[in-house]
Structure 1
Amino acid sequence: MAAAAAAAAICTPRSALGSLDGRAVVAPGARRVGPVAVFARVLKPVEERFKIQHEKNVPAERLKELGVERWSKWECGPNVTYRHAWQVDEQIYISKGSVMVTPEDCDDSAYFYQGDVVRFPKWLVADLTFDEDYEQCYRFLAYGSVRSGEVAPTILMSGLLNRLLMLIYLHSFTATDRKVSVLLHTVFCFNFKSLLGV
């Protein structure tokens, strides 16, 4: 009798494993005799699996450091669900309400609440569900973005590079020998870009 109770406990993986994803492996139509093998794996949080960066209850100093007061605002009403695909990284500050994020082809969800700062990665596709009035401040980020108020050297140099290339391109239409101008343009682009590492 005790052996039957022990076998029944082993065959119920969720009771023994808690939040682990455990499944009893039994061939269809087979009779259960003795212990059953159970395979379990720990599921990482959605944030970790999909590279969503999350800061909970962000203090005012951190919000000031991020420059949240200059970000764009977006809001929506309750009971709204829609699919969103990120083309670039987006950082948000939830100023009101909460959002449930369910990534595409995933059974699990992540929940973010008022006071949280969340960064969604480029190429993430997810369903966003809002159960109450919701408001967020947001900004879009390029990979390697620096803190608010600073200009990244690579962004600055790429802007200068674009201006210089435009001047060379415009000069090529006024030059008497267009072949020389195009050659100089090509050599300059290659050398300048390799210096910048772009």
Structure 2
Amino acid sequence: MATVTESAPSQAGTEKYIPFETSVNYEKVAVGGAFENGRLESSWYKYASYLPHNVPGKQPPLEEFQHQDVGLRADPEKKALLNAPGAVFDEITPAIGTEVHNLQLSSLTSQQRDELALLAAERGVVVFKGQDFADIGKDRQREFGAHFGPLHVHQMGGQVKGYPELLPVYRDFTAGAVDNEIKNNVSSIKWHSDMSYEM
């Protein structure tokens, strides 16, 4: 996606804002609001099988492996991805970020996945909204991720029961853990690098 852009002073009110909700109030998704001990009773939650499941013990140490970047085998012009029927690709900024509309990750062919890896490497961030990914099943989700390389099992986080490679990104709105962690901060934005000590 070689793009020629011209820099121009931004005009007030023209900035593009992409809202993402990271704090889900599970009372709103619970039918009848069934909570026990401040946590959502999982039988009421549509994606209950994705709630964190903690497995005691340790994972074996990471072993060195040869990474095969699937973006390197992609068509440099990314024709299969960029010409997908109905798909629209919007640049979030001239240099970084692309938002993709009308294209389901779950429907990408192997060639399109390779081209997506190349697009992500070129643009840094690729955003897909309105995905059916949560509903395609854990086996297909795991297979999708494995296309890009060996899957990692997180040493510390909960996992999806029976699928240790799937790490649920989950915030229990009622527990207040994140709020307590950031209550004395100027902003709620935090950054960290997972598992760097394993390298």
TM-score bin (small chain):
under 0.3
The structure with the largest helix share of the pair is 1
Does 1 or 2 have the higher relative contact order (CA < 8 Å, sep 6+)?
Answer: 2
The structure with the largest strand share of the pair is 1
Q: TM-score, normalised on structure 2? A: 0.19
Structure whose alpha-carbon radius of gyration is higher: 1
